[in-house]
Chain A
Amino acid sequence: MPIWNNYGMGRRHFMQHMATAAATLPAMNFLSHLQANAATVKANNKACILLWMSGGPPTIDIWDLKPGSKNGGEFSPIDTAAPSVQISEHMPETAKVFKDLSIVRSMSTREADHGRGRYFMHTGYVPNPTVTHPTFGSVVSYEVGRSRSALEIPSFVSVGGGSGQAGFLGMSHAPFVVGSDGQINNAPTEEGKKRLPGRLEMLAAVESNFIKSKRGELPEAHKDVYKNAVNLMTSRQMTAFDVDKADPSFGLEAESEETKALYNPAPGGGGAMGMRGGNGFGQSLLMARRLVQTGVPFVEVNLGGWDLHQDVFNTLSQQRLPVLDRGISGLVTDLKQRGMLDDTVIVWMGEFGRTPRINQNTGRDHWAASWSNMIGGGGLANGQAVGATDADGVRVADNSKAYLPGDIWATVAHAMKIPLNTVHTSKRGRPMKLANGGTPIKELLG
């Protein structure tokens, strides 16, 4: 599979006749520093893989079932490998690996609008018109990615998009968005690559004038992004995006059919979900593992289709949960086999949960007051359910602490050894605490 995809365009060859001229062009000096350190990226780096459930998943039907309640719905709980933790019957494979996962059942987040919920869960901060808070992947890129000098591809990759912005941490920490097939649009042609050095030299001359003319940060940010884009265009680490390609220098092999099968429902279960078919969630997760292996410290993988205002039970049991179940269990199994699980923390969340009350369309609407997140790997004390909701799932149980996204991200920071007292500074000079000052969830710290 080619990684590069020139979007909807037939190739044109108008440059071919220029090949001779290209030979006379200035040397590719900008590339030399890249090739110098293209060697190995250290293995067992700390990383986070965020499974983002776009639309707001009904956690009452997945992680916190309420059998016997009027809100209970159609599903039954099953036991998992972790004693005393039960999850949905439609998550059987995940149940088997639950010693390495945990549920936080007392999330109470208040934002039940998609845009606001997406922002709050990703940043730990409520939207504020005067400042753009960095999404947590950008925080990791800034705190961890910057020190990984051998990493040539972006240190925050978002498979599927919608991950938010880097805000005051700067454009070079913005998520690099790719499709679930790992294809990246607008590859350089061979001719284009040859012409690049001359063009970039011209560009540098043109750009510097505008930067010097004092018009704010945008002109400079533009230059930084181009630098990252050029790094990427010429990097061998791009192999990480293509599950069928190998590059031994990064420990990457072409993925076997067995490995691919780990991540995907068997044909017939959950529809025809081959590697290329279905929604690509399994392939995205496999790509995420390869990226982590290559040294990327934060990968976000988007799985949509959770805005289940109608027909929630059929959609879950026949479409969403088989894909999710296999994806999570495959990821955990694969990371564990490779000895990467203790260094890779897995987080599962969406904008909010869904109403315990079942609506007239057999659906569930938006609900942020009492719902679940899942977290695992990362060397945490897994195999448990932290916190609880009441018998009908409509509020956090009286004896239970309520958690915010900042607490989840503080737990991630702990697992990744990012100091919790890290403070960033907004453009206006305001100090911004890591994860909005959240506290790691103590039960998970072991």
Chain B
Amino acid sequence: MSTLPQWIKRMTGATLGISVFFAGVAICSSAHGGDASELSTIEFIDANIQQGYEDNEIKPSEVASDEEWVRRVYLDTAGRIPTLEETKQYLSDESPRKKTVLIGELLDSQDYVRNFTTIWTNNCIGRRTPRRVSRNGMEKFFREAFAKNRPWNDIVVDIVTGEGHFEENGAVNYTLAQMQMPDDAVQLTAMTTKMFLGMQVQCTQCHNHPFNNWQQSQFWEFNSFFRQVRKIDHRKVDPVTGRRVDDFSEVVTRDFSGPVFFEKRSGLMQVAFPIYMGKKVDPNAFDRRKEFGKLLVAADSGETPLIGKAFVNRMWGQYFGYGFTRPVDDMGPHNPASHPEVLDRLAADFVKSDYDVKQLISWIANSDAYSLTSQFGEDNAVDNPSAGEMPLFSHMYIKTMQAEQLYDSLISATNAHKSGKGGWEAQESQRRRWMQQFVAAFDTDENDEATTFNGTIPQALMMMNSELIEKAVNTERGSFLFETFAKPGKDSEKLQELYLAALSRRPSRGEIGNAQKLFSAYGRNGKVYAYQDLFWALLNSNEFICVH
């Protein structure tokens, strides 16, 4: 098997002790000799991933067409497909630097802020807003953070240590969402470790980790940082009805200096004190979470803090469909990374850049690997992470749109954002309402949820029958279809507009011929319906719903 050498290399990496990994010491590679450090970040990524192709005796796919790439970079960065005009503009641009330029423009756009606000709000509080949590507060916090491109370490510290009113300090909504049950901050501990440090330790609340050296005691040492957290749900009297109703919620720090007790599997009770990766904190510290925040970002002796590494891995996963580890939030010696050198270098440079989120995205999106097509052939068919293989990034992996991406893309495809019905704010609340049909909560302390926007029948029914789709294929005056159809010009030109709007590409000659053949069944008077049905088909197609 051609992937064997990589596996062996990784297993060797895995035998390095956990203490080394969690101390954050970069596991340096000698693969590129002494000159590796002289390469720029992007050159280093490209060279290292290229080396992976050679080691595994595969050939990468071709570079994606402009049409494929522009759609992808819009979806991944702005959270929607490009509009017809945006696509045309990019396709007609002949500058050799147009990729880099577009990435920069997208990172400075409002849609980037909106997209990342959506993603991180979902990460932190879920899609179904838990009880006594302010979605508006959480979104406002992220909107400001991404708009100002605040350093990621500052964002994390604000989230992990936040106190106060859930709309005045929106960061606290993360904590409130993890405190749905009186579970001694177990969920807050597990989620914080997973989300921001990229480590899954939730199973160690009951027993030592089966595959790495994480101990049950460590879970409770982490947990003891969060035991001073208290939430207060305020109530008020409704002046109209005279009834007591929910008011705001807030996070406060309570006086707690004791150790934490936990039960071993043997039934013995044990104590745990606040200790972070071997660093003890005075149990009498006035605010243990503040101490935790300092330790999160501490970079003693040049180590790369785990929050940097975890974020890089997650961001890579967002752009490529697979991170360097699977899942992206379970890093550690038990789960070796596919490209440890790239992960380490990117993380180190990210930290050096003062945790510059836009810079990190720019490195990722400008890499050679991100430019490749999603089509693959005999030469790299083995690069198939969906079958469980380690990703080699020799072609783009297909992702399916998230529900929010679909919603925003339909609006882009049909120019609905131009029709003047409210701004993004109004659309935000419409989108939020629409989302609810896909989300079911489990009602557990983990605040977890399931979505039926997962490629199964409910999603297909929505795409075929919903009012959202009816609106998208609407032919009233002012609609996208009406404007396209009413324009003078040949059918083949109009077909081209439909394909460009929905799939960001021109139809092939075969597709035009095929469409015209199908059109003939509609007769002369039925042409508008033919256009409508074709547009419906384009929006319902696999090609539309896939990010490829």
Chain A residues within CB distance 8 Å of chain B: 6-9, 11-12, 14-15, 18, 21-22, 24-26, 54-56, 110-116, 118, 129-131, 154, 160-162, 165, 171, 174-177, 184-189, 192, 195-196, 198-203, 205-207, 209-211, 213-219, 221-223, 225-226, 228-230, 232-233, 304-305, 307, 309-310, 357, 361, 363, 365-366, 368-369, 394, 426-428
Q: Can you show 20 pairs from A to B with CB atoms below 8 A apart?
A: A7-B436, A8-B433, A21-B529, A25-B522, A25-B529, A111-B203, A115-B202, A165-B454, A174-B456, A186-B465, A195-B536, A203-B540, A205-B515, A219-B542, A223-B542, A228-B460, A305-B443, A309-B445, A366-B206, A426-B387
Contacting residues, chain A, for B330 (C-beta < 8 A): 129
User: Which residue on B lies nearest to A126, using beta carbons?
Assistant: B210
**Contact A310-B182, Cβ < 8 Å, known A129-B326, A228-B457:** yes
Decide: B442 and A162 in contact? CB cutoff 8 A: yes
Name the distance in Å between A56's Cβ and chain B's nearest Cβ.
8
Contact of B455 among A129, A171, A203, A214 (CB under 8 A): A171
Decide: B386 and A55 in contact? CB cutoff 8 A: no
Contacting residues, chain B, for A54 (C-beta < 8 A): 442-444
Decide: A24 and B457 in contact? CB cutoff 8 A: no
Decide: B335 and A216 in contact? CB cutoff 8 A: no
**Contact A428-B542, Cβ < 8 Å, known A129-B326, A229-B461, A365-B183:** no
**B440, CB-defined interface residue at 8 Å:** yes
**B377, CB-defined interface residue at 8 Å:** yes
Contacting residues, chain B, for A161 (C-beta < 8 A): 440, 450, 452
Contacting residues, chain A, for B525 (C-beta < 8 A): 21
Contacting residues, chain B, for A221 (C-beta < 8 A): 455
Give the A-B contact count at a CB cut-off of 8 A. 250
Decide: B543 and A206 in contact? CB cutoff 8 A: yes
Which of the segments B304-312, B363-371, B413-421, B466-474 contacts the partner chain?
B466-474
Name the distance in Å between A327's Cβ and chain B's nearest Cβ.
17
User: Which residue on B lies nearest to A175, using beta carbons?
Assistant: B456
Decide: A426 and B542 in contact? CB cutoff 8 A: no
Decide: A206 and B526 in contact? CB cutoff 8 A: no
Name the distance in Å between A341's Cβ and chain B's nearest Cβ.
29
Q: A8-B434, A230-B464 are in contact. List 20 more A-B contacts (CB 8 A).
A: A6-B465, A7-B466, A15-B470, A24-B521, A24-B523, A25-B526, A111-B203, A188-B464, A198-B522, A198-B530, A209-B543, A216-B374, A218-B398, A219-B398, A225-B457, A233-B465, A307-B181, A363-B182, A426-B388, A428-B387
Contacting residues, chain B, for A198 (C-beta < 8 A): 518, 521-522, 529-530, 533
**How would residues 195 to 210 of chain B score, 1 for a CB under 8 Å from any chain A CB and 0 otherwise?**
0000000110111000
**B458, CB-defined interface residue at 8 Å:** yes
Closest A-B pairs by Cβ, 5 of them: A202-B537, A130-B388, A427-B387, A229-B460, A222-B542
Decide: B542 and A116 in contact? CB cutoff 8 A: no
**B145, CB-defined interface residue at 8 Å:** no
Task: Give complex CA distance A443, B182 in Å.
Answer: 40
Task: Give complex CA distance A342, B518 in Å.
Answer: 53
**B263, CB-defined interface residue at 8 Å:** yes
Name the distance in Å between A345's Cβ and chain B's nearest Cβ.
25
Task: Give complex CA distance A192, B450 in Å.
Answer: 29
Contacting residues, chain B, for A14 (C-beta < 8 A): 470, 474-476
Decide: B181 and A9 in contact? CB cutoff 8 A: no
Decide: A9 and B467 in contact? CB cutoff 8 A: yes
Contacting residues, chain B, for A192 (C-beta < 8 A): 464-465, 470
Task: Give complex CA distance A22, B521 in Å.
Answer: 11
Task: Give complex CA distance A119, B161 in Å.
Answer: 32
Name the distance in Å between B231's Cβ and chain A's nearest Cβ.
14
**B545, CB-defined interface residue at 8 Å:** yes
Decide: A361 and B389 in contact? CB cutoff 8 A: no
Contact of B386 among A187, A189, A427 (CB under 8 A): A427
Task: Give complex CA distance A169, B330 in Å.
Answer: 25
Task: Give complex CA distance A113, B475 in Å.
Answer: 51
**B534, CB-defined interface residue at 8 Å:** yes
Decide: B511 and A209 in contact? CB cutoff 8 A: yes
Name the distance in Å between A49's Cβ and chain B's nearest Cβ.
19
Name the distance in Å between A212's Cβ and chain B's nearest Cβ.
10
Decide: B182 and A219 in contact? CB cutoff 8 A: no
Decide: B326 and A55 in contact? CB cutoff 8 A: no
Contacting residues, chain B, for A15 (C-beta < 8 A): 470
Name the distance in Å between A14's Cβ and chain B's nearest Cβ.
6
Decide: B384 and A55 in contact? CB cutoff 8 A: no
Decide: A307 and B445 in contact? CB cutoff 8 A: yes
Contacting residues, chain A, for B445 (C-beta < 8 A): 114, 307, 309
Contacting residues, chain B, for A174 (C-beta < 8 A): 454-456
Contacting residues, chain A, for B518 (C-beta < 8 A): 198, 201-202, 205
Contact of B538 among A206, A211, A214 (CB under 8 A): A206
Task: Give complex CA distance A304, B450 in Å.
Answer: 13
Task: Give complex CA distance A110, B377 in Å.
Answer: 43
Contact of A217 among B263, B386, B465, B523 (CB under 8 A): B386
Decide: A115 and B446 in contact? CB cutoff 8 A: yes
Task: Give complex CA distance A165, B456 in Å.
Answer: 10
Contact of B521 among A6, A8, A26, A369 (CB under 8 A): A26
**Contact A205-B388, Cβ < 8 Å, known A112-B203, A214-B375, A307-B181:** no
User: Which residue on B lies nearest to A177, using beta carbons?
Assistant: B452
Task: Give complex CA distance A131, B538 in Å.
Answer: 32
**Contact A202-B388, Cβ < 8 Å, known A214-B375, A218-B546:** no
User: Which residue on B lies nearest to A192, using beta carbons?
Assistant: B465
Decide: B202 and A113 in contact? CB cutoff 8 A: yes
Decide: A185 and B326 in contact? CB cutoff 8 A: no
Name the distance in Å between B324's Cβ and chain A's nearest Cβ.
12
Contacting residues, chain A, for B389 (C-beta < 8 A): 130, 428
Which interface residue of B374, B443, B448 has the most chain A CB atoms within 10 A?
B443
Name the distance in Å between A107's Cβ and chain B's nearest Cβ.
15
Task: Give complex CA distance A162, B452 in Å.
Answer: 9
User: Which residue on B lies nearest to A369, using beta carbons?
Assistant: B265
Contacting residues, chain A, for B543 (C-beta < 8 A): 206-207, 209-210, 219
Contact of B462 among A12, A176, A185 (CB under 8 A): A185
Which interface residue of B376, B398, B523 has the most chain A CB atoms within 10 A?
B398
Which interface residue of A7, A11, A310 has the most chain B CB atoms within 10 A?
A7
Decide: B474 and A129 in contact? CB cutoff 8 A: no
Name the distance in Å between B322's Cβ and chain A's nearest Cβ.
10
Decide: A188 and B387 in contact? CB cutoff 8 A: no
**How would residues 293 to 335 of chain B score, 1 for a CB under 8 Å from any chain A CB and 0 otherwise?**
0000000000000000000000000000000011100100001
User: Which residue on B lies nearest to A361, using beta carbons?
Assistant: B182
Task: Give complex CA distance A369, B530 in Å.
Answer: 62
Task: Give complex CA distance A177, B461 in Å.
Answer: 12
**Contact A186-B388, Cβ < 8 Å, known A24-B526, A113-B203, A221-B455:** no
Task: Give complex CA distance A214, B396 in Å.
Answer: 12
**Contact A428-B388, Cβ < 8 Å, known A177-B440, A215-B548, A219-B546:** yes
**Contact A114-B267, Cβ < 8 Å, known A202-B536, A216-B386, A363-B182:** no
